[in-house]
Amino acid sequence: MTSAPLIVPSVLPADLARVGAEVAELCAAGVDRVQWDVMDGVFVPNLTFGPDLIAAAREHSSVGFEAHLMVVEPERLLDRYVDAGCELLIVHAEACTHLHRTLSRIRELGVRSGVALNPHSTAATVAHVLSEVDLVLAMTVNPGFGGQSYIPAVEPKIAALRRLIDDSGFPIELEVDGGITDGTIVGAAAAGADVFISGSWLYAHAHGKPAAVDLLRMQAVKGATGKEAA
């Protein structure tokens, strides 16, 4: 881990009837960004957030928004999510016929670009687009739903991505998403991740969101350094 761990909640478990207040609560809890899981019912068997809902929540947030686009042909929708206030757009390598072109297009729109890999996809899939990305996302569940169990078999790939990124010399964040808890974050951090998405565990934490965020951050440092956080 080259920098302090970033803790980013997924909005999927939020009470959508009060999404603005929910986002403000997450900011008050000390999160570093907010992730919107955008699902189209085709790339994944679930349907979630359009750009208008995200735009409506934008004024309630003091932190940046990232959109995790779990959609087919994401190039059709990039402008809409930038206009909605997302500063980082993440597309799936498995959904892009022309991945290099799509990542370059995201940067042309003036925002940061990210590429996501499903659990079965290899690290080599992104080896030739590292110059076009600001973030690589290794899914630690099969995308489409919150509340699933973390897949430890992804950790060797996280380590391979860490080596690829370090060897490239580019300042690329390595994010993991799916089943992240105070337990599983240790292994993901030890493998080399430095950005951590958490949904159901963070929302369900008995002591509330601020305590959950602090605990995740402490455990990530422990995983990365092998020592308890100071």
Give contact residues for ligand DX5 (rule: CB under 6 A). Answer: 10, 12, 37, 68, 141, 143-148, 177-180, 197-201
Could you tell me the smallest distance in angstroms from the CB atom of residue 31 to ligand DX5?
Answer: 13
Kind of pairing, strands 112-117 and 135-139?
parallel
8 A C-beta contact, residue 111 and residue 88 = yes
37 annotated active-site: yes
CB-nearer residue toward ligand DX5: 125 or 200: 200
Cα distances (angstroms) measured from residue 24 to each of 136, 159, 160, 209:
27, 34, 36, 12
Residue from 52, 166, 177, 214 carrying the catalytic annotation = 177
Could you tell me the smallest distance in angstroms from the CB atom of residue 95 to ligand DX5?
Answer: 13
Kind of pairing, strands 64-70 and 88-92?
parallel
Could you tell me the smallest distance in angstroms from the CB atom of residue 36 to ligand DX5?
Answer: 9
Q: How many other CB atoms are found less than 10 A from the CB of residue 136?
A: 28
CB-nearer residue toward ligand DX5: 87 or 145: 145
Could you tell me the smallest distance in angstroms from the CB atom of residue 84 to ligand DX5?
Answer: 18
- Residue 202: Cβ-neighbour burial (10 angstroms; 0-12, 13-18, 19+): buried
Residue from 15, 37, 40, 182 carrying the catalytic annotation = 37
187, 190, 193, 197 alpha-carbon torsion, rounded to 10°: 30
Could you tell me the smallest distance in angstroms from the CB atom of residue 164 to ligand DX5?
Answer: 22
State which residue has the least CB distance to ligand DX5. Answer: 199
CB-nearer residue toward ligand DX5: 208 or 225: 208
Sheet with 88-92, side-by-side order of all strands: 6-9, 195-198, 173-177, 135-139, 112-117, 88-92, 64-70, 33-39
* Closest by CA position to 150, among listed 117, 185, 120: 185
- For residue 225, the 8-state DSSP code is H
CB-nearer residue toward ligand DX5: 121 or 200: 200
Runs of H (alpha helix) within 129-208: 155-168, 184-191, 200-204
Q: How far apart are CA 206 and CA 87, in angstroms?
A: 31
15 annotated active-site: no
CB-nearer residue toward ligand DX5: 114 or 199: 199
Residues labelled catalytic: 37, 177
